[in-house]
């Protein structure tokens, strides 16, 4: 298998303008957060399981996966706290 490059893309999401002319803010849901973290975690675990990836610091990747799991939980708990305030 060829070496594969994993690209980090920072996409800009334009904010649509509502009919009344005010900004309609982009809403991030728990599902959005879970999907993003799950995608990263699954990709990382797949790389760890595949011995064909050369030059990847697997220990560092394991640490990043664990940090992602912790950050996902923190993000979800913050959303829950915000819901309780509202």
Per residue in 44-75, pLDDT (tens digit) is 888 888 877 778 888 898 999 999 989 988 98
> From the CB of residue 54, how many other CB atoms can be counted at a distance below 10 Å?
7
Q: Where are the domains of the chain?
A: 30-85
Per-residue pLDDT at 4:
47
Look up the pTM and report it: 0.56
**Contact 38/84 with Cβ under 8 angstroms?**
no
User: Residue 82's pLDDT band (boundaries 50, 70, 90)?
Assistant: confident
What DSSP designation does 22 have? S
pLDDT score of 1: 42
């Amino acid at each position: 298998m060829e070496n594969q490059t994993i690209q980090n893309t920072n996409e800009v999401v334009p904010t649509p303008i509502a009919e009344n002319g005010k900004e309609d803010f982009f809403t991030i849901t728990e599902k959005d957060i879970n999907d993003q973290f799950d995608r990263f975690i699954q990709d990382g675990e797949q790389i760890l399981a595949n011995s064909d990836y050369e030059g990847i610091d697997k220990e560092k990747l394991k640490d990043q996966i664990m940090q992602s799991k912790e950050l996902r939980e923190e993000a979800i708990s913050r959303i829950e706290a915000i819901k309780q305030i509202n």
